[in-house]
A = this chain, B = another copy of it.
Amino acid sequence: MTDTEVADWWGTAVSRIEPDHIELRGIPVRDLIATTGFGAVIWLMLRGSRPTGAQARLLEAALVAGVDHGPHAPSIAVARITATCGVGINNAMASAINTLGDSHGGAGQECVELLEEIVARSTVPVETAAAEVVAQWRARGVRYLPGFGHRFHTRDPRRDPLLALVDEAAAAGTVSGVFARAARAVETVLNRGRTTPVPMNVDGATAVVYAELGFPAPLARGLFVLSRSVGVLAHAWEEMGQGRRNKGPIPPAVRPTYLG
Protein backbone atom coordinates (compact mmCIF):
# COMPACT_ATOMS: atom_id res chain seq x y z
CA MET A 1 0.00 0.00 0.00
CA THR A 2 2.80 2.35 0.84
CA ASP A 3 4.40 1.48 -2.44
CA THR A 4 1.16 2.34 -4.19
CA GLU A 5 1.03 5.72 -2.56
CA VAL A 6 4.65 6.46 -3.33
CA ALA A 7 4.13 5.20 -6.85
CA ASP A 8 1.19 7.53 -7.25
CA TRP A 9 3.01 10.52 -5.75
CA TRP A 10 6.01 10.14 -8.06
CA GLY A 11 4.21 8.35 -10.85
CA THR A 12 5.03 9.40 -14.37
CA ALA A 13 4.26 8.50 -17.95
CA VAL A 14 7.53 10.06 -19.10
CA SER A 15 9.99 7.34 -18.24
CA ARG A 16 10.29 3.96 -16.56
CA ILE A 17 13.51 3.04 -14.79
CA GLU A 18 14.15 -0.53 -13.69
CA PRO A 19 17.41 -2.29 -13.00
CA ASP A 20 19.19 -2.67 -16.35
CA HIS A 21 16.20 -1.24 -18.19
CA ILE A 22 15.22 2.33 -19.10
CA GLU A 23 12.18 3.30 -21.12
CA LEU A 24 11.43 6.76 -22.44
CA ARG A 25 7.73 7.11 -23.24
CA GLY A 26 7.47 3.34 -23.45
CA ILE A 27 10.43 2.85 -25.78
CA PRO A 28 13.61 1.19 -24.47
CA VAL A 29 16.37 3.79 -24.54
CA ARG A 30 18.66 1.24 -26.19
CA ASP A 31 16.36 1.33 -29.20
CA LEU A 32 16.47 5.10 -29.37
CA ILE A 33 20.18 5.78 -29.01
CA ALA A 34 21.30 4.69 -32.44
CA THR A 35 18.15 5.39 -34.37
CA THR A 36 16.58 8.63 -33.26
CA GLY A 37 17.91 12.17 -33.54
CA PHE A 38 18.01 14.59 -30.62
CA GLY A 39 15.18 16.70 -32.02
CA ALA A 40 12.96 13.66 -32.43
CA VAL A 41 13.67 12.59 -28.84
CA ILE A 42 12.73 16.08 -27.61
CA TRP A 43 9.41 15.65 -29.40
CA LEU A 44 8.97 12.11 -28.05
CA MET A 45 9.61 13.18 -24.47
CA LEU A 46 7.19 16.11 -24.63
CA ARG A 47 4.45 14.60 -26.75
CA GLY A 48 4.55 10.91 -25.91
CA SER A 49 5.08 9.53 -29.39
CA ARG A 50 7.64 9.88 -32.15
CA PRO A 51 7.36 12.65 -34.75
CA THR A 52 7.50 12.10 -38.47
CA GLY A 53 10.72 13.18 -40.12
CA ALA A 54 9.04 16.31 -41.46
CA GLN A 55 7.72 17.23 -38.02
CA ALA A 56 11.14 16.72 -36.44
CA ARG A 57 12.83 18.88 -39.08
CA LEU A 58 10.39 21.73 -38.54
CA LEU A 59 10.83 21.53 -34.76
CA GLU A 60 14.60 21.56 -35.12
CA ALA A 61 14.44 24.65 -37.33
CA ALA A 62 12.70 26.56 -34.55
CA LEU A 63 15.20 25.26 -31.99
CA VAL A 64 18.08 26.38 -34.22
CA ALA A 65 16.60 29.86 -34.63
CA GLY A 66 16.67 30.71 -30.92
CA VAL A 67 20.08 29.54 -29.76
CA ASP A 68 21.70 32.94 -29.39
CA HIS A 69 21.18 36.67 -29.59
CA GLY A 70 24.56 37.91 -28.44
CA PRO A 71 26.00 39.09 -25.12
CA HIS A 72 23.54 41.93 -24.70
CA ALA A 73 20.65 39.49 -24.23
CA PRO A 74 20.09 39.12 -20.45
CA SER A 75 20.39 35.33 -20.61
CA ILE A 76 23.76 35.48 -22.32
CA ALA A 77 25.08 38.35 -20.18
CA VAL A 78 24.09 36.53 -16.99
CA ALA A 79 25.71 33.32 -18.22
CA ARG A 80 28.99 35.09 -18.93
CA ILE A 81 29.02 37.05 -15.67
CA THR A 82 28.20 33.99 -13.58
CA ALA A 83 30.81 31.90 -15.38
CA THR A 84 33.56 34.14 -13.92
CA CYS A 85 32.51 33.65 -10.30
CA GLY A 86 33.97 30.24 -9.54
CA VAL A 87 30.89 28.07 -10.00
CA GLY A 88 30.21 25.05 -12.20
CA ILE A 89 29.22 25.55 -15.82
CA ASN A 90 25.80 24.06 -14.96
CA ASN A 91 25.32 26.80 -12.35
CA ALA A 92 26.15 29.51 -14.89
CA MET A 93 23.61 27.91 -17.22
CA ALA A 94 20.99 27.77 -14.46
CA SER A 95 21.32 31.46 -13.60
CA ALA A 96 20.94 32.26 -17.28
CA ILE A 97 17.91 30.03 -17.85
CA ASN A 98 16.31 31.59 -14.81
CA THR A 99 16.13 34.88 -16.74
CA LEU A 100 13.95 33.43 -19.51
CA GLY A 101 10.77 34.80 -17.98
CA ASP A 102 7.66 36.54 -19.21
CA SER A 103 9.52 39.29 -21.02
CA HIS A 104 12.65 37.38 -22.15
CA GLY A 105 11.43 34.20 -23.74
CA GLY A 106 7.83 34.31 -22.66
CA ALA A 107 6.72 36.15 -25.79
CA GLY A 108 6.62 32.92 -27.75
CA GLN A 109 4.26 31.40 -25.22
CA GLU A 110 1.98 34.43 -25.26
CA CYS A 111 2.04 34.56 -29.04
CA VAL A 112 0.89 30.93 -29.24
CA GLU A 113 -2.01 31.92 -26.97
CA LEU A 114 -2.81 34.85 -29.25
CA LEU A 115 -2.78 32.67 -32.34
CA GLU A 116 -4.86 29.96 -30.67
CA GLU A 117 -7.45 32.59 -29.70
CA ILE A 118 -7.65 33.76 -33.29
CA VAL A 119 -7.83 30.29 -34.81
CA ALA A 120 -10.52 29.27 -32.31
CA ARG A 121 -12.91 31.77 -33.98
CA SER A 122 -13.52 29.32 -36.73
CA THR A 123 -16.81 30.80 -37.89
CA VAL A 124 -15.26 33.95 -39.34
CA PRO A 125 -12.39 34.38 -41.78
CA VAL A 126 -9.00 34.39 -40.05
CA GLU A 127 -8.44 38.01 -41.07
CA THR A 128 -11.63 39.06 -39.29
CA ALA A 129 -10.76 36.98 -36.27
CA ALA A 130 -7.30 38.56 -36.11
CA ALA A 131 -8.73 42.07 -36.19
CA GLU A 132 -11.23 41.22 -33.45
CA VAL A 133 -8.70 39.58 -31.16
CA VAL A 134 -6.12 42.34 -31.61
CA ALA A 135 -8.79 44.90 -30.77
CA GLN A 136 -9.71 42.95 -27.63
CA TRP A 137 -6.10 42.59 -26.48
CA ARG A 138 -5.60 46.33 -27.03
CA ALA A 139 -8.78 47.07 -25.11
CA ARG A 140 -7.36 45.04 -22.24
CA GLY A 141 -4.37 47.39 -22.20
CA VAL A 142 -1.82 45.27 -24.05
CA ARG A 143 0.54 47.74 -25.70
CA TYR A 144 2.95 45.37 -27.42
CA LEU A 145 1.50 42.29 -29.05
CA PRO A 146 3.75 39.31 -28.24
CA GLY A 147 5.71 38.14 -31.24
CA PHE A 148 5.50 41.38 -33.21
CA GLY A 149 7.95 44.26 -33.47
CA HIS A 150 11.59 44.41 -32.40
CA ARG A 151 13.55 47.18 -30.77
CA PHE A 152 16.68 46.22 -32.64
CA HIS A 153 15.90 44.56 -35.97
CA THR A 154 13.59 46.20 -38.53
CA ARG A 155 12.99 42.73 -39.94
CA ASP A 156 14.21 39.86 -37.84
CA PRO A 157 16.49 37.70 -40.03
CA ARG A 158 15.06 34.50 -38.53
CA ARG A 159 11.51 35.26 -39.48
CA ASP A 160 11.42 34.59 -43.20
CA PRO A 161 13.33 31.29 -43.19
CA LEU A 162 11.01 29.94 -40.50
CA LEU A 163 7.84 31.06 -42.28
CA ALA A 164 9.13 29.63 -45.55
CA LEU A 165 9.54 26.25 -43.85
CA VAL A 166 6.03 26.44 -42.44
CA ASP A 167 4.66 27.25 -45.88
CA GLU A 168 6.48 24.27 -47.36
CA ALA A 169 5.20 22.04 -44.57
CA ALA A 170 1.66 23.29 -45.16
CA ALA A 171 1.97 22.61 -48.87
CA ALA A 172 3.16 19.09 -48.07
CA GLY A 173 0.34 18.50 -45.60
CA THR A 174 2.66 18.23 -42.60
CA VAL A 175 0.86 21.13 -40.91
CA SER A 176 -2.37 22.96 -41.60
CA GLY A 177 -0.90 26.42 -42.13
CA VAL A 178 -3.74 28.05 -40.25
CA PHE A 179 -1.53 29.54 -37.54
CA ALA A 180 0.80 31.03 -40.13
CA ARG A 181 -2.22 32.67 -41.75
CA ALA A 182 -3.37 33.95 -38.38
CA ALA A 183 0.04 35.45 -37.65
CA ARG A 184 0.23 37.14 -41.02
CA ALA A 185 -3.27 38.48 -40.49
CA VAL A 186 -2.15 40.03 -37.21
CA GLU A 187 0.75 41.63 -39.01
CA THR A 188 -1.60 43.13 -41.57
CA VAL A 189 -3.86 44.50 -38.84
CA LEU A 190 -0.91 45.99 -36.95
CA ASN A 191 0.54 47.70 -39.99
CA ARG A 192 -2.66 49.22 -41.31
CA GLY A 193 -2.04 52.94 -41.53
CA ARG A 194 1.51 52.77 -40.17
CA THR A 195 4.56 54.07 -42.02
CA THR A 196 7.03 52.12 -39.87
CA PRO A 197 6.00 48.47 -40.05
CA VAL A 198 5.73 46.23 -36.96
CA PRO A 199 6.74 42.90 -38.45
CA MET A 200 6.46 39.51 -36.88
CA ASN A 201 9.68 38.79 -34.98
CA VAL A 202 11.44 35.54 -34.09
CA ASP A 203 9.14 34.90 -31.14
CA GLY A 204 6.20 35.22 -33.50
CA ALA A 205 7.74 33.00 -36.16
CA THR A 206 8.71 30.26 -33.68
CA ALA A 207 5.26 30.54 -32.10
CA VAL A 208 3.81 29.82 -35.54
CA VAL A 209 6.01 26.73 -35.83
CA TYR A 210 5.14 25.44 -32.36
CA ALA A 211 1.43 26.10 -32.79
CA GLU A 212 1.37 24.43 -36.21
CA LEU A 213 3.09 21.41 -34.67
CA GLY A 214 0.49 21.24 -31.91
CA PHE A 215 2.61 22.21 -28.90
CA PRO A 216 0.60 23.82 -26.09
CA ALA A 217 1.60 27.41 -25.33
CA PRO A 218 3.64 26.85 -22.15
CA LEU A 219 5.88 24.43 -24.02
CA ALA A 220 6.83 27.25 -26.38
CA ARG A 221 8.71 28.73 -23.46
CA GLY A 222 10.15 25.36 -22.48
CA LEU A 223 11.36 24.73 -26.02
CA PHE A 224 12.94 28.18 -26.11
CA VAL A 225 14.84 27.24 -22.94
CA LEU A 226 16.21 24.14 -24.68
CA SER A 227 17.19 26.26 -27.65
CA ARG A 228 18.78 29.17 -25.82
CA SER A 229 20.66 26.82 -23.49
CA VAL A 230 22.96 26.08 -26.41
CA GLY A 231 24.04 29.71 -26.76
CA VAL A 232 24.22 30.04 -23.00
CA LEU A 233 26.64 27.10 -22.85
CA ALA A 234 28.75 28.34 -25.75
CA HIS A 235 29.12 31.79 -24.18
CA ALA A 236 29.76 30.51 -20.65
CA TRP A 237 32.45 28.21 -22.00
CA GLU A 238 34.09 30.96 -24.06
CA GLU A 239 34.07 33.29 -21.06
CA MET A 240 35.62 30.64 -18.80
CA GLY A 241 38.45 30.32 -21.29
CA GLN A 242 39.25 34.03 -21.01
CA GLY A 243 40.16 33.82 -17.34
CA ARG A 244 38.35 36.87 -15.96
CA ARG A 245 37.30 36.79 -12.31
CA ASN A 246 34.09 38.39 -11.11
CA LYS A 247 33.33 40.17 -14.36
CA GLY A 248 31.14 43.22 -13.94
CA PRO A 249 28.77 44.56 -16.59
CA ILE A 250 30.90 47.60 -17.43
CA PRO A 251 34.61 47.45 -18.30
CA PRO A 252 36.56 48.98 -15.39
CA ALA A 253 38.18 51.61 -17.60
CA VAL A 254 34.93 53.25 -18.65
CA ARG A 255 32.76 52.98 -15.56
CA PRO A 256 32.18 55.79 -13.14
CA THR A 257 34.28 55.42 -10.00
CA TYR A 258 31.33 54.97 -7.74
CA LEU A 259 30.17 51.82 -9.54
CA GLY A 260 32.87 49.94 -7.64
Contact status of A74 and B30, CB under 8 A, knowing A5-B253, A10-B259, A238-B12: no
Q: Are B253 and A250 in contact (CB under 8 A)?
A: no
- Write out, one digit per residue, whether chain A residues 204-235 have a CB within 8 A of any chain B CB (1) or not (0): 00000000000000110111011001110111
Nearest chain B CB to A199 CB, angstrom units: 11
Nearest chain B CB to A241 CB, angstrom units: 9
Minimum-distance CB pairs A-B, first 3:
A86-B102, A17-B260, A87-B101
Q: Are B17 and A72 in contact (CB under 8 A)?
A: yes
Is A153 in contact with chain B by the CB < 8 A criterion? yes
Is A172 in contact with chain B by the CB < 8 A criterion? no
Chain copies in the assembled complex: 4
Is A186 in contact with chain B by the CB < 8 A criterion? no
**A16: which B residues are within 8 A, CB to CB?**
70, 258
Is A21 in contact with chain B by the CB < 8 A criterion? yes
Q: Are B161 and A33 in contact (CB under 8 A)?
A: yes
Chain A interface residue bracket vs B? 35 or more
Is A26 in contact with chain B by the CB < 8 A criterion? no
Contact status of A15 and B70, CB under 8 A, knowing A33-B162, A37-B60, A93-B222: yes
Is A139 in contact with chain B by the CB < 8 A criterion? no
17 more A-B contacts (CB under 8 A) besides A17-B259, A94-B94?
A10-B255, A20-B155, A22-B70, A29-B65, A33-B162, A38-B39, A41-B63, A72-B248, A72-B259, A85-B101, A85-B105, A90-B98, A94-B97, A95-B95, A98-B98, A219-B233, A222-B236
Q: Are A157 and B21 in contact (CB under 8 A)?
A: yes
**A-to-B contact residues, CB < 8 Å:** 2-3, 5-10, 12-22, 24, 28-30, 32-34, 36-39, 41-42, 45-46, 57, 60-61, 63-65, 67-74, 77-78, 80-82, 84-91, 93-106, 152-158, 160-162, 164-165, 218-219, 221-223, 225-226, 229-231, 233-238, 240, 245-251, 253-260
State which of B33, B42, B73 has its C-beta within 8 Å of the C-beta of A246. Answer: B73
